[in-house]
Amino acid sequence: MLKKLTIPRLKTEATAFAAQESTHAEPSLFGVTDGKAVGTYLEQKFQANLHKRYDYVEGSSAKGIDFPELDVDIKVTSIKQPQSSCPFEAAQQKIYGLGYSLLVFVYEKSDDEQTKTGSLNIHHTIFVDKSRTADFQTTSGILKIIENEGNLDDILAFFAERMLPLDDIQAQTLAEEVLANPPETGYLTISNALQWRLQYSRVIQQAGTVIGIEKL
């Protein structure tokens, strides 16, 4: 009988998997430099491990996130440049978060010429709660404006400075929402693009020191 997958179990399994994978030499990774290929390998292997023990619905790129029932998505990134992309849904994501949590594996890859294998040393396994997945500069800037008794015009000017992808009506509505419901500080760096570009350096630095960002 397979157990039900929960977030605490997912975190426990991710920790064990990272330790196990860090000592594994993999022939199919030898000479691979494409980060997307490494990410696919790691994600598929982790999912295969989970399916042996747990009953859950696995997401897909077509369905969006990896664990739709848990509101969690896996991100695999190299320690050389810890970043990845995710679908753009709305400008609100920079302020109120992506809408789901992130399980981030940060690896360093090396190749062994003698054995013709590649290894992934997973330096960091981090769980970022969805409440912390907004953009750091955007949320901290908004909170400073509110702290300084800023008004609607101040928020709108800030949106324009940050070049948030909003038209005038959307900006007005969002500014009103921000004043009524100030965001929590996010810890991602989210760059504007056709897809959001997520950068994790701050998350790596803050893991274990901020509520909602756990170093597993």
pTM of the model: 0.93
Q: Looking at the 3D structure of the chain, how many domains does it have?
A: 2
**Span 173-185, pLDDT tens digits:** 999 999 999 999 9
- pLDDT(103) > 90: yes
Domain of 75, CATH number, reads 3.40.210
Q: What is the 3-state secondary structure (H, E, C) of the chain?
A: CCEECCHHHHHHHHHHHHHHHCCCEEHHHCCCCCHHHHHHHHHHHHHHHHHHHEECCCCCCCCCCCECCCCEEEEEEECCCCEEEEECCCCCHHHHCCCCEEEEEEEEEEEECCCCEEEEEEEEEEEECHHHCCEHHHHHHHHHHHHCCCCHHHHHHHHHHCCCCCCHHHHHHHHHHHHHCCCCCCCEEEECCCEEEEECHHHHHHCCCECCEEEC
What is the band of 193 on the pLDDT scale with cuts at 50, 70, 90?
confident
Give the residue carrying structure tokens 């009953």: 55
Question: Same domain for 77 and 159?
Answer: no
**Span 8-51, pLDDT tens digits:** 999 999 999 999 999 999 999 999 999 999 999 999 999 999 99
What is the band of 63 on the pLDDT scale with cuts at 50, 70, 90?
low
Average pLDDT over residues 123-135: 97
Average pLDDT over residues 181-193: 93
Question: Same domain for 28 and 75?
Answer: yes
Question: Same domain for 67 and 156?
Answer: no
Question: Same domain for 14 and 71?
Answer: yes
Question: Same domain for 145 and 73?
Answer: no
pLDDT in the model for residue 87: 86
**Span 198-208, pLDDT tens digits:** 999 999 999 99
173: left (phi over 0), alpha (psi -120 to 50) or beta: alpha
